[in-house]
Structure 1
Amino acid sequence: MFAIMPFLIIVLSSDYTKGEIELRAVKHQTVNCNERTVLQCNISSSMPLSIVKVYWKKTEDKDFECDPTSSNRPPGFECNYTGEALTLTISNPTPANMGSYFCCIKADSGHGAKEINVSIGQCIGEFSHQMPEPKQMQCSFNGVYPEGMINWFHYDKNLTSSSTVTSLVNSDGTFSITSVLNIQDDQEKYKCSLWSLKHGKYLKDQEFEVPVHADSRPISRISTQHCLSWTLIFLCLMF
């Protein structure tokens, strides 16, 4: 087992072997979150090639293989071979797709592989807010990457110290960040801002206003009025 691993590493890291097969690709690529992306390896040779197999592998996933001639491809991926290029399409890139991909070619005259390191840019995610309690405002960002935090403001006043925050990792490698603010005035405007811990800047701001009389309880007031009415009737009957 240990004798085989160095051989595999040498094969996967080689640009070409006998037969002068050459693969060319951009080694480091940062792709946009959730934006369809195509990785491409250009193929050239000093002699005509009789192709045995072309495919893609991923270092971080031993079961990953995308073969243009097979219908059994990894979910969310497409691969194609034109004779001059081997491409791998990532339909909806997320942080779970980061890693080292190898375009591989086997021919009767030789073989080769080329590495492409893929990283994901920032994901702002989707915003939502609600009032879980009469005196609370909740602000959430789902699908955030890298991890961030939520700060609260009333105009220029920072209210973050009056809030609590939770951060959960999703299956695709993004984060779901939720913060709950204890509010003081129902008619005030508030702003929750998503702060990127990696980039040290705000990625998105959301402003909203707490509904007027959000903590009123009309049912309780109606019950009180009914109680007073019955009390007056009882007093009239007594006299």
Structure 2
Amino acid sequence: MKSTSAAQKSSLDERRSLSVRVQESTMIKAMGFSSAVRTPRVFTWVSIFWLTSAVGVAVCQGVQIQTVSQLSAHCGQNVTLTCNVSSSQKLDIKQFSWLGKNKTLCKYKHDQAKPELECKTTKQDISHHRLTLTLINFKSIDVGEYICKLHSAQGVKSKKTTVEMQECRGNVIHSMNASHAECSFQGVYPDGVVHWFQGEANLTDSSNTTQDMDKHGLHNISSMIHVKKGKLKQPYSCSLWMPSLSKYHPGNLLPIVEEVGSSGSAAGLKWICIVVEIIILKLLM
């Protein structure tokens, strides 16, 4: 009886072990099949992504936009900014414009002429276009960055042009009398400091200077210095030092003014001579 029971138990253990091995084999096959199915799908999606990206890059690279990166001009000049766009195929333009000072200044196919700017569109063929912005009477407030932006069916591209001002000389006004001398620099750019000289002596520290800016961004700088008595025969000179340019804006050599006392004495002596001459002539007649 004991022998028969042991044999039955051994047979039962063998069936259980076989069942476990079968289940494990089935799970391994299922996992392998699932992995085999997922791998082609992942590869397919990756391929689609890279293909789409490559096409997008190719289309974007097919559009060229050209501008001058930097311009420099004197005040009062007309400054022209040109933007050329081209494509290897027909260019479907949705928006094409010049931007500056946080606003749109010039639009494609919206030509205009204003006192401060002009906008002109040129179409050479279906794949070459030009947008020109001209700044009239260039002023210091026009200094800055201007962006040419293109939005087409092939994508969005942009380039910028930086416009700088070289110098505005403006006008120099000066005056002098027996008590003080004054120099005024009107409509200059950039700003500066008025330097005073009498011969080789630098008198700048004893001067009084005021400055303001007009609506065009130009500077008006006036400086006054008290004239020392007894030194009027040595001329005073004024000039404008512009630190940002490391140069002088030439000023003027102020004329010599005679002292009031000496001038009055000379005039009195002249009249006395005339009166004496008249008396002598009458006596002789």
**Same-fold call, TM cutoff 0.5:** yes
Any gaps of 5 or more consecutive residues in structure 1?
Answer: 1-15, 223-239
Alignment deviations for residues 26-61 of structure 1 (CA, whole Å, 9 cap, x no partner): 212222222221111222111122444432111xx3
Q: 1:115 pairs with 133, 140, 160, which one? A: 160
2:67 counterpart residue number: 25
Are the aligned partners of 2:199 and 2:234 in contact in 1 as well (CA < 8 Å)?
no
Aligned residues: 202
- Cα deviation, 1:140-159, whole Å, max 9, x if unaligned, reads 11222222101111222222
CA contact (8 A) 1:188 1:209 kept: no
- Which has the larger share of strand? 1
Task: For residue 76 of structure 2, give the secondary structure of its aligned residue in structure 1.
Answer: coil
Structure with greater proportional helix content: 2
Structure-2 residue corresponding to 1:46:
88
CA-based RMSD:
3.0
Partners of 2:212 and 2:188 in 1: CA distance: 10
Does the Cα contact within 8 Å between 1:135 and 1:215 map onto a contact in 2? no
1:88 to 102, 115, 133: 133
Q: Does 1:208 align with 2:248?
A: no
| Structure with greater Cα Rg | 2
Q: Distance in 1 between matches of 2:117 and 2:245?
A: 29
TM-score by length of 1: 0.71
State the percentage of identical aligned residues. 29
Alignment of 1:68-107 (within 5 A): 69-70=109-110, 75-83=115-123, 84-107=129-152
User: What's the counterpart of residue 175 of structure 1?
Assistant: 219
Query: What residue is the counterpart of 2:30 in the other structure?
Result: none
Is this contact kept in 2: 1:187–1:209, CA < 8 A? no
Distance 2:96 2:130 in 1: 10
- TM-aligned CA deviation for residue 105 of structure 1: 3.1
Q: Bigger relative contact order, structure 1 or 2, given CA contacts below 8 A and separation 6+?
A: 1
> When the two structures are superposed, what TM-score results if normalisation uses the length of structure 2?
0.61
Of 193, 196, 199, which aligns to 1:155? 199
SS at structure 1 position matched to 2:64: strand
Which has the larger displacement, 69-78 or 94-103? Answer: 69-78
Q: Distance in 1 between matches of 2:262 and 2:85?
A: 70
* Letter of the 1:28 counterpart: Q
Native 8 Å contact 1:192 1:206 kept in 2: yes
Change (3 A) 1:217 1:26: same
Hey, what does 2:99 align to over in structure 1? 57
> Residue 62 of structure 1: CA displacement?
2.7
Do 1:187 and 1:210's aligned partners in 2 also have CA atoms closer than 8 Å? yes
Aligned match of 2:187: 143
Q: How far 1:110 sits from its partner (Å)? A: 4.3
Is contact 2:110-2:121 (8 Å) kept? no
Q: Pick from 192, 210, 223 the counterpart of residue 238 of structure 2.
A: 192
Separation in 1 of the partners of 2:97 and 2:75?
24
